[in-house]
Chains A and B, each alone.
Chain A
Amino acid sequence: MTARIKRWPGVELGAADLYEGKVTQTRFRPDAKYAWSAGEAMSRFLEELQRGRFIARTCTGCDRILFPPRMFCEACFRPTDEWRYIQDTGTIETFSISYLDRDAKRITDPILVGVVSLDGASPKMGLMHYFAEMTKEEIRIGMRVKAVWRPPEERRGSVLDVRYFRPLREGEG
């Protein structure tokens, strides 16, 4: 239907017309600010990362230890109960050998990323992270790993306060 209309009413304007002031106009820059909070549970989680620890929340309803922590149990539909530190060792649940970096740029030396479930939390609860000090031939599901923390002065309260997870050594954990 619109194909039949050869000429639309009105005035066509390009960016140059606007910037050269060809037509009258109102310009405005709203003073739009935001403060985005990580919430109760994730804020404590990030603060504890800066101290070099992983923290979880317990739920007495289902007897789980929730990690990453949350203030609300999605299984019991009730607030969670207590803070609980867990270990920085765990098990690789799944992994990818990635030939793309964080910016989706192609790389020849692959990075290892995946999900690690942490000791002390309920089964399958953990976080996604990098794996290193192992080759792409050595990495496997079920592999025991340990967090490598940045030195305290380099930590920012970020998940990158852990550099990566490395294989658990003989006699550890």
Chain B
Amino acid sequence: MTFLERTTDPRRLRHWEGTLEADYIYTSGLAGERFFTALRDDGRILASRCDACDLAYLPPRLFCERCFAELAAYDDVPATGRVEAVTVAHADRSGRPLPEPEAWALVSFRGIHGGLLHRLLVPAGKARAGLAVRPRIRPRAMRTGTIADIEGFEPA
């Protein structure tokens, strides 16, 4: 054992294994609440708007990040968005390999600051930036007020 040797595999030695409880509940916040209830109840995607700055935010923000005004106005985003960037995932959230690679996209809407990161419902080989897409919203009975109420984005 020298200065540079390190124990990189604790299981090689006498060790203890365990799990850390780190459960959390994250609430959406005021603007997030508007966004998710509109998505759940009406299948709409809302952006908040600042008239003074002529800016709209997606996901909606409670405050304008330019002028710090509290935002009360909400608009539907346009029916069609645009893929800004794509990622092809070969592993799921836990790092396990996926049977088929999945395409993920950052989708933006004309005139709106921000966008949504979501599944791109095309074969991974066909995923590319610039694609015109529209959201595929799950049926009302399946919606629970989370981002998964959107199944993904499909070619418009």
| A residues with CB within 8 A of B | 10-11, 13, 18, 23-40, 42-43, 46-47, 71-72, 79, 157
Contacts and interface: CB of A to CB of B under 8 A. Distances in A.
A79 B19 contact: no
B94 A31 contact: yes
8 contacts: A24-B40, A26-B146, A28-B26, A30-B22, A34-B19, A37-B10, A37-B13, A40-B1
A71 B3 CA distance: 10
B15 A35 contact: yes
B100 interface: no
A24 B2 contact: no
A32 B19 contact: yes
A149 to B, nearest CB: 19
B67 interface: no
Contacts of B32: 24
Given A10-B30, A35-B10, A47-B14, A79 B25 contact: no
A79 B27 contact: no
3 smallest CB-CB distances across A and B, nearest first, come from A37-B10, A24-B36, A43-B14
A83 to B, nearest CB: 12
A46 B14 contact: yes
A161 to B, nearest CB: 13
Given A31-B94, A39-B13, A43-B13, A23 B20 contact: no
A40 B7 contact: yes
